[in-house]
Structure 1
């Protein structure tokens, strides 16, 4: 069952995702789903970024804790994605430098 989004909950989600966007400014779209099944609160999100899509979900007895865990997971994924981009550009530049001059 989807959760009725109260203003405090909406503000909390927005605040958490703004923090993620500060770490990586190539976010093009964010889709968040909050649901409750018995006493299990689930938060899941799909983030579209340049070069791909990230997904994470988290379940907890407390919705705010589920959101915290969700954004922590996404933060780690974003950092990993940024490292891949940086490593890719770094190795690309290193290959250019190592290439012998053309005759």
Structure 2
């Protein structure tokens, strides 16, 4: 798995890199089929008095790309909110993949017609 952390108009210190990597480890332990991770941290200035810190991530999975983006006044807060969004999306994707193991309709109808002796009506 390749992890690429870049900064736009912001200097990436080792503390910021370590913080992002530890947050990514928490998210990636849910799902092990990650091909590539690209994290972009930057500063936007939409107005003169309001500077925003932006964090976005593109997580390439096998056949899918998961994208999360968040802005906040503090860079660490933006990273935290972005990782929460990413975690929810990864868990949702994992659920979709594993959710296709349902019993066939034929078997379900047989169970309804012929209940076992353990079941009480």
TM over 0.5, yes or no? Answer: yes
Per the alignment, residue 9 of structure 1 pairs with: 16
Per the alignment, residue 101 of structure 1 pairs with: none
Q: Which runs of 5+ in 1 are unaligned?
A: 99-103
Please point out which of 99, 104, 107 is paired with 1:95. Answer: 104
Q: State the TM-score, normalized to the length of structure 2.
A: 0.73
Aligned partners of 1:60 and 1:53: how far apart in 2? 24
Question: In the alignment, is residue 48 of structure 1 matched against residue 48 of structure 2?
Answer: no
- Distance 1:5-1:86 versus aligned 2 partners, 3 A rule: same
Superposed CA RMSD in Å reads: 1.9
Question: In the alignment, is residue 36 of structure 1 matched against residue 43 of structure 2?
Answer: yes
Q: State the TM-score, normalized to the length of structure 1.
A: 0.85
Per the alignment, residue 75 of structure 1 pairs with: 87
Question: In the alignment, is residue 24 of structure 1 matched against residue 31 of structure 2?
Answer: yes
Please point out which of 50, 57, 63 is paired with 2:69. Answer: 57
Matched positions, count: 96
Q: Which runs of 5+ in 2 are unaligned?
A: 1-6, 46-50, 108-121
Structure number with the higher helix fraction is 1
Name the larger-Rg structure.
2
CA shift for structure 1 position 41: 0.2
Aligned partners of 2:89 and 2:63: how far apart in 1? 13
